[in-house]
Amino acid sequence: MKVGARVHSMHGQMCAVELLTKIGDNDYLVKLPSGTVCHAIYNVFAGCYYADDVYAKIESK
């Protein structure tokens, strides 16, 4: 499912990301258009996801 997220490496600009799975309470895996998979959280007050592709990037083997 495509959702809007503010992306860390883009200085908080909105971007359409693919929501992959829910890992835990307010912890999601998302896939950016560049193919990077990272953790994201949902902020209920702002009404959008925050994807951290700088510090919470998932490395592929």
pLDDT in tens, 7-33: 999 999 999 999 999 999 999 999 999
- Confidence band, pLDDT 50/70/90 cuts, at residue 52: very high
**Inter-residue contact 7 to 49 (CB < 8 Å):** no
- Confidence band, pLDDT 50/70/90 cuts, at residue 59: confident
Report the number of distinct structural domains present in the chain: 1
- Quickly count helices (H) and strands (E) in the chain: 0, 5
Residue 34 lies in a domain: yes
**So what's the pLDDT on residue 26?**
95
Residue 59 lies in a domain: no
Residue numbers of the domain that contains 49: 2-54
Give the Cα separation of 27 and 5 in Å (integer).
13
Is residue 49 pLDDT above 90, yes or no? yes
Residue 10 lies in a domain: yes
Give the Cα separation of 6 and 49 in Å (integer).
6
Read off the pLDDT of each residue in 26-45 and give the average, rounded to a whole number.
Answer: 95
**Inter-residue contact 19 to 9 (CB < 8 Å):** no
Residue 21 lies in a domain: yes
**Inter-residue contact 40 to 29 (CB < 8 Å):** yes
Is residue 61 pLDDT above 70, yes or no? no
